[in-house]
Copies of this chain bind each other. A is one copy, B any other.
């Protein structure tokens, strides 16, 4: 059987990450055919040719619609800026391609809903690129929770913090425009929401507070411009099953680089995780001798599948890019009609509904229920 024919739209941060995953997935897992890197699209044909050469794609184009017409392309990675996701993903699905789309779906909820509708109409696989749920450590955490290792969960805290918007002297750019979304909630807080979904299911009700640490930012041409969205968001939440949660997102958090910190409390123990140290987690169990109870720091290891496909020795560590390879393997399962672990458009849409509910709760200063799809 031949490998999947792959099209790639976009070659930035996530575009390269997808290319690496497509290129490595068979080497790592062995049990899928090697994908054919068929066709790569960039905004500019020259850049497309350069990237196609670097990434090992056979064809290059400056017009992403060329991929739709390419019969050798079976699946398309959509890794362009968020505002283009809807148009591209829908067109790809309508052209009969499977879609692997980076998160979030789209700034506007209506666009995200159209994406789901297109996926359903197409009968094709449509998967979101929520890579953090693919961490073998995160899978182990879910297994522990399911096994009752820390009893019934009653409270969760999750923080996502980086400092790419922390410098007040940094020039105003599109991420501070209202058209790009709410700020920290969009394309940033969705990551911890993907973890919450993976572990506990969808959010039921929310109330958010949002803050602009800097009311305005300097312009390149001189002068200053008012910031239109919020770099900091804090949210009280109710998950299902009586679990209360707090979500905190801060993209102006000096010193934080890739922090996604989880604290999960249950009736028999608790679990801690921080993406900045993605190869470890901590487990506390209220059992055994009282003088010997404490948080256990567990390093990622071959026993945490599929770490073993990368490295046979424990404690040696996966990297950020490796998570996308695991996600790519899950995508293969989805396309093959097997059980898979990834966030499809239906669940992706529900995550975005919770984001919009948060924004609404902030503007109306009240608790808001997240509508169900």
Contact = CB atoms under 8 A, between A and B. Distances in A.
Nearest to A149: B292
Contacts of A363: none
**Contact residue range for chain A?**
35 or more
Interface in A268-302: 268-270, 276-280, 282-284, 286, 290-299, 301
A163 B277 CA distance: 21
A253 to B, nearest CB: 5
Q: This chain: how many copies in the complex?
A: 4
B24 A28 contact: no
A77 to B, nearest CB: 14
A257 interface: yes
A159 to B, nearest CB: 8
Interface of A: 12-13, 16-17, 19-20, 23-24, 26-28, 30, 34, 54-56, 140, 143-144, 149-151, 154-155, 157, 159, 162-164, 166-168, 207, 209, 211, 213-214, 232, 234, 236, 238, 242, 244, 246, 248, 250, 252-259, 265-270, 276-280, 282-284, 286, 290-299, 301, 303-304, 310-322, 365-367
Closest 6 CB pairs of A and B: A257-B315, A319-B319, A255-B284, A258-B315, A294-B298, A154-B213
Given A255-B295, A296-B297, 4 more contacts: A209-B238, A209-B244, A253-B265, A276-B315
